[in-house]
Amino acid sequence: MHPSQALASVVVDELVRHGVTDVVLCPGSRSAPFAYAVQEADRHGRLRLHVRVDERSAGFLALGLAKGSGTPTPVITTSGTAVANLHPAVLEAHHANVPLLVISCDRPPELRGTGANQTTVQPGLFAGAVRYEVDLGAPEADVGAPPASAASAASPAADTTSEAASRAANAYWRSTVSRAVAACRGVPAATPGPAHLNVPLRDPLAPDLETLHDSEDAWATGTFAGRPDGRPWVAVAPPDLPVADEPRTAVVVGDLATPGATAHVVRLAEMQGWPCLAEPYGAPDRALVVPHGPLLLSTPWWSDPANLPERVLVVGRVTLSRAVARLLAAVDRVEVVTETPQWADPGKRASRVWGLAALRALETTDRSAPDRAWTERWRNAGRVLDDAVRSNADHESPHQTTGLAVATTLLEHPAVTHLFVGSSNAIRDVDLAMSPRSHAEVIASRGLAGIDGCVSTAVGLALAVGRPLHALVGDLTFLHDANGLLIGPGEPVPDLTIVVVNDDGGGIFSTLEYGEPSRATQFERVFGTPTGTSIGQVCAAHGVRHEVAATAADLEGALAEPPHGLRVVEVPVDRTRHRAVRDELVDLATRALQRLDLQRVDQRDA
């Protein structure tokens, strides 16, 4: 099957799985793959097709079908002015909250801006009038029909590069259709209305006659590598439906904008008897969270079938740990809880989406008993890990420090109550350091997670909350916004202490694949990026107090002084040790959890 035909077939199949019953089609060449797909779906009774030659009338026909049925109704057009003729119907759907779905076929990106026939700027054409819009990526030449079996479609494993590309494309197309249909329906957290899928398609557009029979069989049997039993790729639950029951559930909590939401979610997980791993934001009771979560997920312990969750419930945006991504890839059931109309699922693993209200409904819903023995294994693993990390810290040299040690000190110091953390290594050190002893409320800019503007953001936070604040940033993050120290005479000055972990460069890259020893000759200039800048002289230029905390004891002493005015505490760290420190910590954790497993086996045999 040609790539464009595969895309159209998968999109139409996913629409049917979401309950779409009617489709309106206008004639055109660029939309030919969709014409073949909807005709086959109609012929096999999977939907009802309506063909119209005038796009303006077609748009209003789809509007009427959607208005009368309450079901999202697609209208499909070719490129150019054909799309513009749908605008009146889109505007009516917008103001009347009608679930109209525009599927506009388009020239591929390489033909845009070249003067190609019937080519204009279609993405954003209905801006402001649609609940969701996306410019779907054009299928690559080596992406054909995805595998026939649903199991292989959802599996991250791949036999060949082409099969892996087809699987990834299948998940992307289906996940995007799920988002568009959810937006039309106004779930989980918005009002119904129109959505726009702009679909670039490359030649060839007509199906290969030799494989047309296979396509017909797929429509007859309903197999286009989707979920089993005709289920949609992502099922979006209505707001009043509580989260489904599953005793072996692990909860992963990311960034949540709603004040107090993180603490509430952590308490709910405890009430349900579910182990909870939480990124460091907010001020939840850390005694209810599995400590050092990224470290636990970096060991083989969690992937043991006896420990692996049946379901992972992801609440909010999870952005910090590759180890969490590996957990999500390994579990068959990944479900997302979102507080916004759209949801975070970069790995296209979610099979169901819930609104935040659905999670709160757990408080008043009768549930089956959790698997307490399984949950206790997770909690025991966390306790063992915390003991090992604490013991290791007690044996570290008092004359040198690490980013992780700095983060631990800030999180547990009695004088630090509110901590703004910059992006890159700083927030990951805080994530790794979180333990039951951590009490500081953590705030971070995770919308786009850039290192820019962090000093100014911390200043603004300190001025807004009106209480002493601490901040933790790396040297590049600090230098990137050194002008944040520039506060003119007569301007309000925050009570803010900024702790700068100075490893002279991009320390985070040394912990990634770019920092592998085999790549050392290419690393330093373009990833390490040393600057040699004097933090003290930068502070002096702005009239800001500066001191160096060369040891853990120095940092403890510096933090004992409550923030008063603007102050910078610099902690020198050896960047060449970052990778080794992380590796040693993973080895330490692995050995500790292996001993725990041996104890469990001995107890069982006894």
**Same domain flag for 221 and 254:** no
What pLDDT is recorded for position 157? 46
H or E, element range at 49: strand 48-51
497: domain CATH number is 3.40.50.970
Number of alpha carbons in the 13 Å side-chain half-sphere of residue 211: 13
Kindly state whether residue 9 falls inside one of the protein's structural domains: yes
416-448 as b/e, with b when 16 or more CB fall inside 10 Å? bebbbbbbbbbbbbbbbbbbeebebbbbbbbee
Kindly state whether residue 382 falls inside one of the protein's structural domains: no
pLDDT in tens, 106-127: 999 889 889 898 889 899 999 9
Kindly state whether residue 361 falls inside one of the protein's structural domains: yes
**Average pLDDT, integer, range 249-276:** 93
In 195-260, alpha helices (H): 209-221
**Same domain flag for 358 and 415:** no
Kindly state whether residue 584 falls inside one of the protein's structural domains: no
**Same domain flag for 482 and 542:** yes
**Same domain flag for 44 and 182:** yes
pLDDT in tens, 46-59: 999 999 999 999 99
Which residue range(s) make up the domain with 43?
3-209+217-230
What pLDDT is recorded for position 150? 44
User: Cβ distance 571 to 500 under 8 Å?
Assistant: yes
Q: What six digits make up the tokens of 414?
A: 């009695």
**Same domain flag for 325 and 408:** no
**Same domain flag for 264 and 294:** yes
The Cα–Cα gap between 3 and 314 comes to: 32
**Same domain flag for 13 and 120:** yes
In the structure, what pLDDT confidence band is assigned to residue 226 with cuts at 50, 70 and 90? confident
Worst-scoring range by mean pLDDT, 141-150, 433-442, 535-544? 141-150
**Same domain flag for 315 and 410:** no
How does the average pLDDT of the chain come out, rounded?
A: 91
In the structure, what pLDDT confidence band is assigned to residue 139 with cuts at 50, 70 and 90? confident
Indicate whether 149 pLDDT > 60.
no
Indicate whether 435 pLDDT > 60.
yes
In the structure, what pLDDT confidence band is assigned to residue 153 with cuts at 50, 70 and 90? very low
Kindly state whether residue 367 falls inside one of the protein's structural domains: yes
**Same domain flag for 28 and 160:** yes
pLDDT in tens, 447-478: 999 999 999 999 999 999 988 999 999 999 99
**Same domain flag for 470 and 562:** yes
Choose one of 168, 200, 230: the last residue of a domain: 230
Kindly state whether residue 582 falls inside one of the protein's structural domains: no
Choose one of 169, 195, 230: the last residue of a domain: 230
Q: Number of structural domains, the chain? A: 3
In the structure, what pLDDT confidence band is assigned to residue 606 with cuts at 50, 70 and 90? low
What pLDDT is recorded for position 140? 78
Stated pTM of the model:
0.90
φ, ψ at 449 (rounded to 5°): 60, 35
**Same domain flag for 73 and 113:** yes
Q: How many residues does the chain have?
A: 606
Pairing of strands 100-106, 195-200: parallel
Kindly state whether residue 511 falls inside one of the protein's structural domains: yes
Kindly state whether residue 278 falls inside one of the protein's structural domains: yes
**Same domain flag for 41 and 111:** yes
